[in-house]
Amino acid sequence: MGFNLESHAQTKGSPPVINFAWAQESIRQGEDWRIYISATDPDGDMFRIYCRVNQTGGDNYRPDITRIKKEMEGKLTGYLVLRTYSSQDFSGVSLTLTLIIEDRAKNESKPIVLPLTFNGERMKPPPEDRVSPDLAKELNQRIGHIGIDLLRRDQFGAGD
């Protein structure tokens, strides 16, 4: 597996389905970017969440993998966190996050692509018109941390 966006081949069983995904499109640096997701798998065997960040002006970051807790393998609801740091100057930086859920049979969900820019807005929860009150409560649990450290444009290639 990995990140083959063209291949969503099913090996056996049913692939996970992402029923809801939302992330604020612009935040201020230093805020934790929350990626809210709700997914189901009829086979109850969701296993991993793959996240890849592509930053304008740089390369793709190495994909991050979050293991799904056993109790969430059939129904996954909550948020992932990508940390941004206030000590870095990300003004004008844009990126996209691609998210895929894989199950134990190697079936993959369709990819979700979410954009982010840094412009000074405070992080907010999903809009009330997009989620029911029950889903809003379920989305308020942390699934995991995306272990990618963002770089400023001038830091790309600095280690080469």
CATH classification of the domain holding 75: 2.60.40.10
Among 7-11, 107-111, 153-157, top mean pLDDT goes to: 107-111
The count of domains in the chain is 1
Residue 7 lies in a domain: no
Residue 156 lies in a domain: no
- In the structure, what pLDDT confidence band is assigned to residue 110 with cuts at 50, 70 and 90? very high
- In the structure, what pLDDT confidence band is assigned to residue 141 with cuts at 50, 70 and 90? very high
Domain around 139: 17-122+130-148
Residue 157 lies in a domain: no
Residue 5 lies in a domain: no
SS3 assignment for the chain? CCCCCCCCCCCCCCCCEEEEEEECCEECCCCCEEEEEEEECCCCCEEEEEEEEEECCCCECCCEEEECCHHHCCEEEEEEEECCCCCCCCCCCEEEEEEEEEECCCCECCCEEEEEEECCCCCCCCCCCCCCHHHHHHHCCEEEEECCCCCCHHHCCCCC
Residue 89 lies in a domain: yes
Residue 9 lies in a domain: no
Q: Does 57 score more than 80 pLDDT?
A: no
Residue 6 lies in a domain: no
Residue 153 lies in a domain: no
